[in-house]
Amino acid sequence: MKSHEPRRIDVPEVIEVFVDQLRFLTFDGHQLRMEFDVVRKDGAAPEDESRHWTYTASRLVMSAHGVPAMLDQMARLQAAIAPRAAAAAPEPEHEVEAAEPVLKWKGRETVRG
């Protein structure tokens, strides 16, 4: 028996939100929650680090059944951009510090990205 995909309807009222970074990501086994930020700086003093602000731009919640499809799309994106990123990346001058945790599993140890 064939599985039928639901008909897709584009809703023009849904707005597109620009973000600079994914700040928070959790998965509790049922839902994936993501919080995206945008970083802005004071135009009068662009070099002054104390005059930079991070604002929450968007929060998304995805059901667990959508997560594998998103991960597949992200793997395809990574495969497509990895050769370009590797060619453009400068040689590190010193040892790179460990990155902050990207994915936090509720009730489990943090997974580093």
- What is the tens place of the pLDDT at every residue in 77-105? 999 988 887 787 776 666 655 555 555 54
When divided into structural domains, the chain yields a total of 1
pLDDT at 56: 95
pLDDT at 113: 43
pLDDT at 68: 93
91 found inside a domain: no
Q: Which residues contact 25 (CB under 8 A, 6 or more apart)?
A: 32, 33, 34, 35, 102, 103, 104
pLDDT at 95: 60
* 2-56 pLDDT tens trace: 678 889 999 999 999 999 999 999 999 999 999 999 998 877 776 777 778 899 9
pTM for this prediction: 0.63
100 found inside a domain: no
78 found inside a domain: yes
76 found inside a domain: yes
* 43-73 pLDDT tens trace: 777 677 777 889 999 999 999 999 999 999 9
Domain of 69? 17-42+49-85
27 found inside a domain: yes
107 found inside a domain: no
Report the alpha-carbon distance of residue 69 to residue 90 in Å, rounded.
32
112 found inside a domain: no
62 found inside a domain: yes
